[in-house]
Chains A and B, each alone.
Chain A
Amino acid sequence: MRPFRYERATDPAGAVALLARSPQAAYLGGGTNLVDLMKLDVARPDLLVDVRGVTSRAIEELPDGGVRIGAGVSNSDLAADPLIRRRYPVVAQAVLAGASTQLRNLATVGGNLLQRTRCVYFQDVSTACNKREPGSGCSAIEGHNRDLAILGTSPDCIATHPSDLAVALAAMDATVQTVGPDGSRAIPLTELHRLPGSEPQHDNVLTHGELITAVDLPPLPFAARSYYRKIRDRASYAFALVSVAAAIDLADGQVRDVRIALGGVAHKPWRATRAEDLLRGGPATEERLRRAAEAELADAQPQSDNAFKIPLARNAIVRTVLDLTGTAR
């Protein structure tokens, strides 16, 4: 690990000012990914600004009936929160599907959203990786890519975003509150992360020094019936091959509204809007679900080792939504 300075910020404005002065500085939340990457020499900050005391650690109801989650809330506290469990079970389930309790105790909500890909080449500085070293090439495209993306890839990068929480938040239409050198703004979670394109070094749209202060969940009564299904190589403590966050609003057997987001398939949490559009206004039958899922995955471009993710994602969507409707096998 390279030498670095450590400072503890006391308020968001102070944190932002510290980063604005230091182009190589980084915020430190729980550190569960950043410290990991610093040990690997992938992350090379010369200054860490500790923001754990800066952002809120509270989960509060908003006047519109939504919920605000402070960026400093630990992953464990988020998953255990009774309000979240009651109104947005998919969010609690997604958090619990990731990592381990001892990691979730350290990890913050803000940090979870900004964790970086677990592509093996990104994490190995002795190999080429456009995300880590722009222009060096993508080792994964002709290499070990079983875990990587099938949707929204580019010739420069096929990484996936590893967060489970982000997938559930994408399905819920959450909004990310930030404060940065240019003031504060609200970013829809589905627009926080980006596709790799020709600049895979940029995971998201945040600017240097922009700090996530909170995540807002909008009121969504039917989210009380939601579920997060994660499929992985180990029964626990493993990243997703494919995951599905889903919620459904049924009225008289017809889909009034539905939310579907996928994890493990793209450089960002993949909101399945095409599938959702096809499902609204008709019954949630297995046949319609299957067609909707296939439409969502129609543009998938598998790599040499991950074509299985297409039928896996399709089957996972169908089964997760069917289970939510209470349809027996």
Chain B
Amino acid sequence: MSAVAPRAMGQPLSRFEGEDKVRGLATYAFEHPVPHPAYLSAVRSTVATGEIIGIDCSQASAQPGVLAVLTHLNAPRLGIDDGELRILQSGDVAFRGQFVGGVIAESSEIARHAAALVRVDYRERPHDVDLESSRERGQLRVPQQTMALFPMDTDKGDVDSALAAAAVQVDSTYRTPWYNHNPLEPHTTIACWTSAGLTLHVSTQHPQGVQTTVATAFRLEPDQIRVFSPHVGGAFGSKGPRHSDLILAVMAAQLVPDRPVRFALTRHQMFSQTGYRSPTMQRVRLGADADGRLTAVAHESIEQTSRLKEFAEHATRATPTMYATPHLQVRQQLAALDLPTPAIMRAPGECVGMFALESAMDELAVAGGLDPVELRIRNEPDTHPLDGLPFSSRSLPACLREGARRFGWESRDPTPRARRHDGWLVGTGVAAATYPTLRLPGSKVTIRVTPDGRHTVLMAAVDIGTGTRTALTQVAADALRVDLAQVELRLGDTAYPPAAPEGGSAGITSWGATICAGADELRRRLAADHGGTVPAEGLEVTVDMPENPHLKQYAMHAFGAQFAEVRVHDETGEIRVPRQLGVYAVGRVVNPKTAHSQLIGGMTMGLSMALHEASILDPRYGHVVNHDLATYHVSSNADVGTVDAYWVEEDDPYVNPMGTKGLGEIGIVGAAAAIANAVHHATGVRIRELPITLDKLLPHE
């Protein structure tokens, strides 16, 4: 693995598709112009568990303009085992809101109305959707596997004894609610079956995954399916794994061959069909000596999954990486409930896990009378606390110090509830952030060069708003050692070589390393076979993502420090966050402009998580009742104050040829903890259950 010299990398370029986006001309999946489209609308179960005993489509079918009605009685048999995707295979209902049918019609208005006319009768069964009572009834189990390739339960030393002996102790339980991704673009598909195969326009983080899943489900060869995904209107993990809306759309299109079928989930349907972040209950126990040096760290998390499929978010994953401690224990438990299946959501694991750990670290600082920045620096490990591997690079102390300097931390009086301005209590807080530097398998790239020196780079990667199209072109230009103008990167089409999913902050690492290998191979072939001159017919190479020989030698993680200032109204409990500041150590930054946007976007989503977001499950019905954007609040413009993101220089020769560590997710990690810690500093009230709403801070006397 040879490092790539930066020329284009490091330039703050505006995103290449910017003009299309500001005009609204960038086409998202549903918008692709297709001739004579039909429209699909879904029918969903209105019971949480049970069995369909009757389904009457006569009224729906009789509507003028209805082309077909899809139910479990006429749906094709699927060749896929995934319980979440196996819809309409029987009359069984596994959660409220599950697809039980669909109507295809000449217009979206007709389809939607006719879907409401499909009458479904159920034999209901009692349902169990309550995580808290599952715990009380002892119905938890250890997950078979978590979402990422990290050890599940971890033990080092003797945590209980060390905690008992610790001079300073913290033992707190934190709760985070159910979150929905809510990308502004709903999940959408256009599906068209022809004799030649299946064409799909899908809003997805993984075109190849769509192709593979649909091929398996519908017993096709992958090359009979072409998937386009040129622009994606936000995803945050919800468009990584395939969900049942894709299956429903393909099934529906099969009923009207040669007609493109458009399907967009409604915002309400987005709350039950596209995955979500499981609620968590996390107990964190910390023990430290009188100097604040950790002697024991224990972190347990309880989450939920569905009965259809196991998904466990790795809430405790970051904990072994963060701080030096002789005694360490992490535990994870799961309840299977009659609910939709959770899924990855921005910074899965770290996002919720670090809310708990970094809140507990603040509690430890308060209990031990230590500055919370200094406490973290004092517990900085020399090597990875669990496996003893050296870090490929680790600059958490630098982030904390630089952040403290920029934020003005040194003048901070740690006394809670000691600052008041015009009726508002003022406080500041800090938290650390981390996210592993991941690489995801499955990428290939084709690079073509023509005698005029133009290079075309082909790869079925996607840009979900992260800036991939721009940043990856910068990587390609430097890998190929040419000017940006000589490189054309084409994405979002499975006609190109497969690409790993957009996720895990691994896009640039996985795709970029593949492109670098392709550039090396192109140079080798040019030199070996063509004397260094591009032949008249041009030259093309296709390579796989290379191995990284350093993977087993180093622990690879990005780090950061989050700072926040909050104001809490002393009579109403209203909360404002006028200032957030983050400093990150994320290796090389390929494009400072889009990177900055990613980081502040993550921080602001963290603000939204801290103050607003919660999907409210009504256990009697079994569904999220605030299933719209008026009642599931995400931060609005007025909620957001100054948000600044910076990074420290980091030269990491081990992670990949570019030296990048990924930064799409780390911005959200720790952001909510920094705000909760600032709320404690402002008010003296420790909020351990998100979101931090005014009723939790309101003076009741």
Contact = CB atoms under 8 A, between A and B. Distances in A.
Interface of A: 1-3, 41, 118, 120-121, 123-124, 126-127, 139, 142-144, 146-147, 231, 233-239, 241, 308, 311-312, 315-316, 318-319, 329
A238 B628 CA distance: 12
Contact of B698 (A1, A144, A147, A308): A308
Given A234-B612, A236-B636, 5 more contacts: A2-B113, A118-B631, A126-B621, A147-B631, A311-B701
Contacts, number: 91
Nearest to B117: A2
B423 to A, nearest CB: 6
B116 A41 contact: yes
Contact of B620 (A120, A143, A308, A316): A143
5 contacts: A120-B626, A231-B694, A238-B633, A308-B698, A312-B694
Nearest to A329: B423
Contacts of B694: 231, 233, 241, 308, 312
Nearest to A147: B631
Contacts of B631: 118, 120, 147
Contacts of A3: 113
Contacts of B620: 139, 142-143
Contacts of B636: 234-238
Interface stretch (B21-29, B75-83, B567-575, B647-655): B567-575
Given A312-B698, A315-B571, A329-B423, A233 B633 contact: yes
Contact of A311 (B423, B626, B637, B699): B699
A124 B699 CA distance: 34
Contacts of B628: 123
B693 interface: yes
B635 interface: yes
B571 A234 contact: no
B571 A127 contact: no
B625 interface: yes
Contact of B422 (A124, A233, A329): A329
A3 B113 CA distance: 8
Instruction: List the 3 closest A-B pairs by CB distance, nearest first.
Output: A236-B638, A308-B695, A235-B638
A126 B113 contact: no
Per DSSP, are chain A's interface residues mostly helix, strand or loop, or mixed? loop
Nearest to B637: A236
A315 B112 contact: no
B576 A235 contact: yes
A147 B638 CA distance: 21
Nearest to B576: A235
B200 to A, nearest CB: 27
B606 to A, nearest CB: 16
Contacts of A329: 422-423
B700 interface: yes
Given A120-B626, A236-B638, A143 B618 contact: yes
B109 A1 contact: yes
Given A315-B699, A316-B572, A329-B422, A236 B621 contact: no
Contacts of B693: 233
B204 to A, nearest CB: 27
Contacts of B625: 120-121, 124, 127, 143-144
Contacts of A311: 698-701
B630 interface: yes
Given A3-B113, A118-B630, A144-B626, A127 B621 contact: yes
A86 B701 CA distance: 37
A315 B572 contact: yes
A3 B109 CA distance: 9
A127 B268 CA distance: 14
Nearest to A242: B572
A236 B113 CA distance: 33
Contacts of B612: 233-234
A231 B574 contact: yes
Interface string B567-593: 000011110100000000000000000
B520 interface: no
A98 to B, nearest CB: 12
A55 B611 CA distance: 42
B495 interface: no
Interface in B607-648: 611-612, 616, 618, 620-621, 623, 625-628, 630-631, 633, 635-639
A233 B613 CA distance: 10
Contacts of A143: 618, 620, 625
A41 B699 CA distance: 41
B446 interface: no
A124 B96 CA distance: 13
B572 A237 contact: no
A242 to B, nearest CB: 8
Nearest to A143: B618
Nearest to B695: A308
B699 A234 contact: no
Contacts of B112: 1
A47 B266 CA distance: 25
Interface string B335-376: 000000000000000000000000000000000000000000
Contacts of B700: 308, 311
A319 B700 CA distance: 15
B176 interface: no
A304 to B, nearest CB: 12
A319 B113 contact: no
A46 B321 CA distance: 62
B635 A234 contact: yes
A316 B618 CA distance: 30
Nearest to B619: A143
A3 B116 CA distance: 12
Contacts of B698: 308, 311-312, 315
A17 B538 CA distance: 78
Interface string B681-701: 000000000000111001111
B339 to A, nearest CB: 16
Contacts of B639: 234-236
